Amino acid sequence: MDRYAVIGHPIAHSKSPQIHAAFARQTAQDMCYEAILAPLDGFAAAVRAFRAAGGRGMNVTVPFKLEAFALAERRTPRAQAAGAVNTLAFDAGGLLGDNTDGAGLVRDLTANHGCALRGRRVLLLGAGGAARGALLPLLAEGPAVLTIANRTVAKAESLAATFLPSTAETQLSACGFDGLAGQHFDLVINATAASLADQAPPLPPGLYAEEAFAYDMMYGRGDTPFIAAARADGAARLADGLGMLVEQAAESFALWRGLRPDSTAVLAALRRQLGAG
């Protein structure tokens, strides 16, 4: 039986073992998937030990995505662009690092929510690792405008400058939250950590165009603070990041096993579980 795992600190909250077990049952794959709590100073040693024991691949969660990037001997273009790795595959070529977060976000938006991005005006809130991981997959969808807004303007500008070579179809720009006043967007994505602190980013009112979509990468029971604020500001459609979690897992599974599972039933079961908790 092939072994896989998710590694992080903390890790007990992770839904990845449940998700990948469901994918394995659905696709009749002979594999197991576990959670590994790594010491904060012991990530690389834990990865090497798991591989030496016959492990085939790992998902990587906080706070080890940058260390996984450094540890990887080869990286996919999307991992290179993100500057972080959330998926490791162990093969004859060594340690391959990938980043499936942005692809999971885009698939959730387009396949699960029917939100086409081509030609749309998109606002990405935040300029940290979550935003960076999303940018290349978002730009590949060809939005007309993609604005990065962050509390620290210089950080948003630096991130935009990094991705300017990838923007043939898209007007890419950066500003602070107060610089958004008077602008309107079709899709607003919260990639900040504000929801973790039970807060919403300090946005000016009137951001949402007609039929606009507000999407929070975070998820929980009920509305996140960002979703609640977007609802109050007139966003027509709202979604949290539970679908992104499942879709990025499906991307990892496809990398490891060579086939993509159907995420629909797994996402529905998780949503029911979250609602019942």
- The pLDDT of residue 197 is 86
Query: CB count, 10 Å around CB of 271?
Result: 15
Please tell me the pTM assigned to this model.
0.95
Strands (E), the chain: 2-8, 31-37, 55-60, 74-75, 87-91, 94-98, 121-125, 145-149, 171-175, 185-190, 208-216, 237-239
Any binding-site annotation on 241? yes
Residue position matching structure tokens 């060594």: 94
8 A C-beta contact, residue 16 and residue 62: no
Annotated catalytic residue, options 5, 24, 65, 115? 65
What does residue 112 show for φ and ψ, rounded to 5 degrees? -85, -30
Instruction: List the chain domain ranges.
Output: 2-98+243-276, 102-239
Taking 70 as the pLDDT cut, the residues of the chain under it are: 276-277
- The pLDDT of residue 277 is 56
CATH number of 2-98+243-276: 3.40.50.10860
Phi-psi category of 21—alpha, beta or left, where left has phi over 0 and alpha has psi -120 to 50? alpha
- The pLDDT of residue 32 is 97
Any binding-site annotation on 1? no
**The two three-digit tokens of residue 146, written as one number:** 């993609």
Any binding-site annotation on 56? no
Residue position matching structure tokens 């009112």: 205
- The pLDDT of residue 167 is 78
CA atoms within 13 Å, Cβ hemisphere of 78:
22
What gap in Å lies between CA 153 and CA 262, rounded to an integer? 40
8 A C-beta contact, residue 34 and residue 57: no
What gap in Å lies between CA 151 and CA 127, rounded to an integer? 9
Two domains, one topology: 2-98+243-276 and 102-239: yes
Per-residue DSSP letter, 277: -
- The pLDDT of residue 200 is 95
Any binding-site annotation on 147? no
Any binding-site annotation on 131? no
What gap in Å lies between CA 227 and CA 216, rounded to an integer? 7
Q: Is 203 a catalytic residue?
A: no
Strands laid side by side in the 31-37 sheet? 31-37, 2-8, 55-60, 87-91, 94-98, 74-75
The CATH superfamily holding the domain 102-239 is: NAD(P)-binding Rossmann-like Domain (3.40.50.720)
- The pLDDT of residue 187 is 98
What does residue 266 show for φ and ψ, rounded to 5 degrees? -65, -45
